[in-house]
Amino acid sequence: MTFRITSGAAATKLNKHWQFCVGSGHAALAMRTDYLRQLKFVHDELGIERVRFHGIFNDDMKTLSSLSNVLDMIPGLERVRERTFHRCGLAYDNVLAAGMKPFVELGFMPELIARAPRQWHFDGFSNMNPPADFNEWATHVSEFIKYLIHRYGKEEVESWNFEVWNEPDLKMVFWIGTRAEYFKLYEVTAKAAKAVDEKIKIGGPATSASKWVKGFVRFCEDRKLPLDFVSTHQYSGDPLGGVEGSKSFEDEDDGFDLEEMAAKFGGESPLANLQSTATPLEAIRTLMGDESETKDLLTNVFRNNADIVRDQAKDYPLYYTEWNFSAVFSAYSNDTRKAAAYILKTALDIEKSIDGSSIWCFSDIFEEMHQFTEEFHGGFGLLTINGIPKPSFHAMKMLSQLGEERLDLGDGATDGEIGIAAFKSEGETQILLFRQSMKQLDLPKIAANVTLETDKKPSRATAQRIDEDHCNPLKCWERDGKPADLNQSEVERYISESAMAEEKIEFQCADSEVSFSVSLGVNDMALVRLIF
């Protein structure tokens, strides 16, 4: 396969939206030292500026509690309540110390002001109900903003983003209410925050699969509500029709329903044939599977949906505050270069449609469903629980090294069997090559032959690779029999064995042209740097 980059290729400023933010496990984790080491590492290595996590108002953060939680045998103590954001401050202190800013997700509902008791959730601390009294919720939000301004100062807090809730379209999972009730929650929250400081930046609807944006923006504008940014989410398995389309807004359903998912099993446990010695990871993988290998997923769903949502969001900044290859926790593919190739291609495909994004998430220190201790368990993280960089981390590292200008190589340059993108910085041109596939197929390698028109001769050419033998710590771990509970020397060895290397490659110069060749297997990536 042959590519030619002409000297007349136009250059535009590259939108490094992937450095805007990164996702994370729940707020309480930000008080752990291992979490903070990894957060700082991600900031320092990838240049990511913010971190977003769930549960700042979860009951494990103790923002609102009563003495009856401690002495439940004494009548009347339920009336003795305490509101304190001390633990929130500890979490945010640590985020700021890592060199980052919080992207504040306002949720979930403190049990004492929720409409109903906590029913269930992945982490055991999150109440997904609307408030019993919206005025009580408004007071909680107001006091929270006042606390932050007192602790960090107006100028600092005004530089943060405040997002109302998380994925309220997922009934019974993240919101036990209607769409209308979420819109009311947004209205009450935005007004309460702005009443404290009109420069606080607030937005939503933080939906899954690019949903609700058109109606949400219309709702805010019709009611003249504060709206500083629009946010939504997208994963590769999410539907192409997730955005509001041919149906009227009022006729569209609320999306995924946990009760419907349970009903499909017809009363028969999907774990009926599981061995009694099965681990929690084996059980979860039996339940959830790896849809990327069993379904024919479309490559460009995110790009197509982002283009639609860009129009729906009008002139408001558009942030995709969660995205990744797979929304299926425990999927084997999450630890492989297949996820990395998807992240690389998709980040480039959407860079002209959105303003900022947040890959989900930076670490497998993640307790939403269960804190699996297997080093590679299909978690969403760029890093394993012990901080070993996965191929997805290395893909983000490649993206972080790109120059400030992107060369226009024409429509479809990233869509062929081998995709190509080119970038410029002072004294250097980078060419990114990838062979992205939604399934990990065993096919022969293909040579990508690249010619660059230039009036200068490079002093050297180097390549970084992500493939079966480069940046593949999963392979090293499986080779050793999948050892459990790694000690520090083992962690360091796996990091060293799978570290991204920069190797010299051969190139040819003739008649104001530079040529080189790179071989790529399925889901392989290569970043070639020509230094002039």
- Output the DSSP codes for 442-467: ----EEEEEEEE-SS--SEEEEEEEB
* DSSP symbol at 236: T
Name every residue whose Cβ is closer than 8 Å to that of residue 99 and which is 6 or more positions away in sequence: 40, 43, 44
Residue 262 has pLDDT above 70, yes or no: no
pLDDT at 66: 81
pLDDT at 248: 39
pLDDT at 286: 80
Residue 423: helix, strand or coil by DSSP? strand
pLDDT at 125: 82
Of 239, 250, 176, 175, residue with least CA distance to 212 = 250
CA distance 290 to 165: 28
321-348 pLDDT, tens digit per residue, is 999 998 888 899 999 999 999 999 999 9
Which sign does the torsion angle of CA 233, 235, 237, 243 carry?
positive
In this structure, are residues 91 and 31 in contact, taking their beta carbons and an 8 Å threshold?
Answer: yes
Give whichever of 115-124, 130-139, 237-246, 262-271 has the largest mean pLDDT. 130-139
* Same domain, yes or no: 98 and 26: yes
- Is there a domain that residue 265 lies in? no
pLDDT at 246: 38
Q: How confident is the model at residue 24 (pLDDT cuts 50, 70, 90)?
A: very high
Taking the CB of residue 215, how many other CB atoms lie within 10 A of it? 18
- Is there a domain that residue 54 lies in? yes
Give the burial class of 169: count Cβ atoms within 10 A of its Cβ; 0-12 exposed, 13-18 middle, 19 or more buried.
buried
Residue 59 has pLDDT above 90, yes or no: yes
369-402 pLDDT, tens digit per residue, is 788 899 999 999 999 999 999 999 999 999 999 9
Taking the CB of residue 6, how many other CB atoms lie within 10 A of it? 11
- Is there a domain that residue 280 lies in? no
- Is there a domain that residue 169 lies in? yes
* Same domain, yes or no: 166 and 100: yes
Residue type, 71: L
pLDDT at 290: 84
Taking the CB of residue 453, how many other CB atoms lie within 10 A of it? 14
Residues 105, 111, 163, 167: which is the catalytic one? 167
Residues 111, 163, 187, 322: which is the catalytic one? 322
In this structure, are residues 30 and 96 in contact, taking their beta carbons and an 8 Å threshold?
Answer: no
Domain-terminating residue out of 400, 435, 461 = 400
Say whether 167 is catalytic: yes
pLDDT at 280: 82
pLDDT at 90: 98
H helix intervals, 119-257: 134-152, 154-157, 179-196, 213-222
Write out 383-421 in H/E/C secondary structure: ECCCCCECHHHHHHHHHHCCCCEEECCCCCCCCCCCEEE
Residue type, 492: E
* Same domain, yes or no: 388 and 515: no
User: Which residue is listed with tokens 């084997």?
Assistant: 332
* Same domain, yes or no: 469 and 391: no
Domain that holds residue 454: 2-9+405-531
Of 325, 326, 324, 337, residue with least CA distance to 471 = 337
- Is there a domain that residue 158 lies in? yes
Question: Could you tell me the two tokens for 529?
Answer: 């740097």
**Cis previous bond, 88, omega within 30:** no
**Cis previous bond, 108, omega within 30:** yes
Question: Could you tell me the two tokens for 487?
Answer: 């000690």
- Is there a domain that residue 181 lies in? yes
Q: How confident is the model at residue 81 (pLDDT cuts 50, 70, 90)?
A: confident
Residue 432: helix, strand or coil by DSSP? strand
* Same domain, yes or no: 27 and 89: yes
pLDDT at 523: 98
% of the chain with per-residue pLDDT over 90: 79
Domain-terminating residue out of 344, 367, 400 = 400
pLDDT at 27: 97
State the average pLDDT over residues 106-122: 90
Q: How confident is the model at residue 251 (pLDDT cuts 50, 70, 90)?
A: very low
Domain-terminating residue out of 369, 400, 431 = 400
Number of domains in the chain: 2
* Same domain, yes or no: 206 and 106: yes
Residue 267 has pLDDT above 70, yes or no: no
353-372 pLDDT, tens digit per residue, is 999 999 999 999 998 878 88
CA distance 30 to 486: 22
119-162 pLDDT, tens digit per residue, is 877 777 899 999 999 999 999 999 999 999 999 999 999 999 99
* Same domain, yes or no: 344 and 445: no
pLDDT at 274: 73
CA distance 272 to 235: 30
Q: How confident is the model at residue 265 (pLDDT cuts 50, 70, 90)?
A: low
CATH code of the domain containing 186: 3.20.20.80
In this structure, are residues 471 and 341 in contact, taking their beta carbons and an 8 Å threshold?
Answer: no
* Same domain, yes or no: 392 and 465: no
pLDDT at 511: 87
Residue 236 has pLDDT above 70, yes or no: yes
In this structure, are residues 398 and 57 in contact, taking their beta carbons and an 8 Å threshold?
Answer: no
Taking the CB of residue 57, how many other CB atoms lie within 10 A of it? 26
Name every residue whose Cβ is closer than 8 Å to that of residue 267 and which is 6 or more positions away in sequence: none
pLDDT at 72: 67
Name every residue whose Cβ is closer than 8 Å to that of residue 76 and which is 6 or more positions away in sequence: none
pLDDT at 369: 76
For β-strands 405-407 and 419-425, DSSP reports them as antiparallel
Which sign does the torsion angle of CA 402, 407, 413, 418 carry?
negative
257 pairs with which residues across the strands? Answer: 171
pLDDT at 237: 78
Residue 215 has pLDDT above 70, yes or no: yes
Within the chain, how many helices (H) and strands (E) appear? 14, 21
Q: b/e for 141-156, b at 16 or more Cβ within 10 A?
A: bbbbbebbbeebeeee
pLDDT at 258: 53
* Same domain, yes or no: 214 and 320: yes
Distances (CA, A) of 77 to 73, 74, 274: 9, 6, 47
User: Would you give the end-to-end CA distance of the chain in angstroms?
Assistant: 25
396-430 pLDDT, tens digit per residue, is 999 999 999 999 999 889 999 999 999 999 999 99
CATH code of the domain containing 431: 2.60.40.1500
- Is there a domain that residue 74 lies in? no
Question: Could you tell me the two tokens for 98?
Answer: 């890592």
Residue type, 317: P
CA distance 50 to 227: 20
CA distance 375 to 388: 9
pLDDT at 77: 63
Average pLDDT, the chain: 92
Say whether 322 is catalytic: yes
Name every residue whose Cβ is closer than 8 Å to that of residue 485 and which is 6 or more positions away in sequence: 373
Residue 508 has pLDDT above 70, yes or no: yes
State the average pLDDT over residues 73-78: 69
- Is there a domain that residue 235 lies in? yes
* Same domain, yes or no: 39 and 185: yes
* Same domain, yes or no: 416 and 507: yes
pLDDT at 52: 98
* Same domain, yes or no: 365 and 418: no
